[in-house]
Amino acid sequence: MKNINELLLIKPSKRFIVIVNGATILLLIPLISMQFTNQVNWSFFDFLIVAILLFSTGLALNFILNKVHNVRKRIALVVILFAILLLIWAELAVGIFGTPFAGN
């Protein structure tokens, strides 16, 4: 019997697997920290939001690296992508822009 990837004709690239594993490892850091200290106190909703943020950034990164062949454009798009990630993360954590989505 064929496995599910062969049936769906999906063959994830090594880069995609590395990106997904990297995002998963980043999500494990606060989960493990919560076991040892009370200073890290994430809810399920926090993990869900960060998972969506990390996996969508990883998918966008994979898309950029697969589709953009000009090195300068690729570097510019990756820098913009990570700047957006950091700005959203900072807004959700401490509210640097004062939006209703701020953490405090």
- In a domain? residue 73: yes
With a CB cutoff of 8 Å and minimum separation 6, the contacts of 87 are 96
Residue 78 falls within a domain, yes or no?
A: yes
Does any domain span residue 99? no
The answer as to whether 100 is a domain residue is: no
Decide: pTM greater than 0.85: no
Query: Mind listing the pLDDT tens digit for each residue in 27-81?
Result: 999 999 999 999 989 999 999 999 999 999 999 999 999 999 999 999 999 999 9
Q: Which token pair is 71? A: 């090195």
Reported as a pLDDT band with limits 50, 70 and 90, residue 2 is low
The type of residue at 79 is V
Give domain status of residue 103, yes or no.
Answer: no
The b-or-e profile of 56-91 (16+ CB within 10 A means b, else e) is ebbebbbebbeeeeeeeeeeebeeebeeebeeeeeb
**What domain range includes position 21?**
4-94
Q: Give the total number of structural domains in the chain.
A: 1
Going by pLDDT thresholds of 50, 70 and 90, the confidence category of residue 95 is: confident
pLDDT band, residue 103 (cuts 50/70/90)? low
* Any domain includes 104: no
CA distance 79 to 76: 5
